[in-house]
Amino acid sequence: MPTALIAEDEPLMLAQLKARLAAAWPELDVVAEADNGEDALEAARAHRPDVAFLDIRMPARSGLEVARELSGSCHIVFVTAYDEYAIAAFEEGAVDYVLKPAAPERIAKVVARLKRELAAAPLDLTALLARLASRPEALRKPLAWIRASLGNAMQLINVDDVVYFQAEDKYTKVVTAQGEALIRKPIKELFDELDPETFWQIHRGTIVNVRAIARVERDWRDQPLIRLRERGESLTVSRTFAHRFKAM
């Protein structure tokens, strides 16, 4: 029975990836999970999985760093929100990649290729990883602080504290657990500056911090409805973005 490690620091993404893999590859045994790079390395050394699904951006150590340590010992699949990483990894010959959110069609292709590759020795990814780490997008830092208006005062808000953003006329509302503020920036422009692994667009005018999600339910139309950890309101997911929450 083939075995796998999944290293992903977002619980919702981890649950979705596991569900998609279970549906596409029932024989696969997920022997370990990790939410940071250090734990991923320890789990890989302890369990010696056949395949490691590694989120490129993780605390402690990145997926690229973990892959460098594991190169040649197991098959690597990169999990990322960045097309640039995925395309580069695929073209350079990495086993495969999964773009967030994990679409069933993509998982099916990954599983089919892995089944073929498991008969061969894992690839040595040293050269590939060096090239990926040197790419400009690897150094890109997402927005960390927001300057927002609060009455007549200016407020600095740490992006990690934001629960969600919502378009409001010519402004964007910044909602935290403690309150709300406004910024003069279109939500589309704001989205391009945020970390796409942490902030998901769920509606044309709404972006949510994945870490702020308590659970995802279904409304009377069978559309995903987000319940928040530290806010009383709920957020509706439009049909355009509903695929992010399937199997959750």
The encoded tokens of residue 198 equal 């942490």
φ/ψ of 217, rounded to 5, equals -110, -175
- Tens of pLDDT, residue by residue over 39-80, are 999 999 999 999 999 988 888 888 888 988 998 899 999 888
Give the pLDDT confidence score for residue 82 in this predicted structure: 64
Q: Average pLDDT across each block of 10 residues of the chain; the chain has 248 residues. List them in order.
A: 92 88 96 94 95 87 87 88 61 66 86 90 78 58 80 82 92 92 87 85 94 89 89 91 72
Q: How many other C-beta atoms can be found within 10 angstroms of the C-beta atom of residue 186?
A: 13
The full set of domain ranges for the chain reads: 3-139, 145-245
Match domain 145-245 to its CATH number in 3.40.109.10, 3.30.420.40, 2.40.50.1020, 2.160.20.10.
2.40.50.1020
Give the pLDDT confidence score for residue 84 in this predicted structure: 60
Q: What does each C-alpha distance from 85 to 139, 217, 219, 223, 248 come to in angstroms?
A: 12, 32, 36, 31, 25
Q: Are 154 and 147 in contact (CB under 8 A)?
A: yes
Residues whose CB is less than 8 angstroms from the CB of residue 84 and which lie 6 or more positions away in sequence, other chains included: 135, 137
Match domain 3-139 to its CATH number in 3.40.50.2300, 3.40.50.300, 3.90.1280.10, 1.10.3720.10.
3.40.50.2300
Task: Answer whether 0.85 is exceeded by the pTM.
Answer: no
